[in-house]
Amino acid sequence: MSTKSVVAGDARSSRKSHEREPVQVDTATLRQLAVKAEADPRTVAKMLRNESVRGVAGQRVRRTLIEAGLIKE
């Protein structure tokens, strides 16, 4: 089993003050979140990097991340 961390963003990138910090999770957690959200792990990683995700998949991922306490509403 891989313990590789998935960095959800680069700390050096410029962010507006109202944007949230990127979240870092390990690969296993990323996959668990993707299964729970019924979405692709790349979509979950994209949302954790604070990037835009549209559509129903984005809504499911957002709801799952809020339930997991990784992002705020």
Q: What are phi and psi of 26, to 5 degrees?
A: -80, 165
DSSP string, 4-16: -EE--S-TTS---
38 touches 61 (CB < 8 A): no
* Predicted local confidence at residue 3, as pLDDT: 54
The CA-atom distances, in angstroms, between 62 and each of 1, 21, 55, 57 are: 26, 15, 11, 9
Span 1-31, pLDDT tens digits: 455 555 554 444 444 444 678 888 999 999 9
Average pLDDT over the chain, rounded to whole?
82
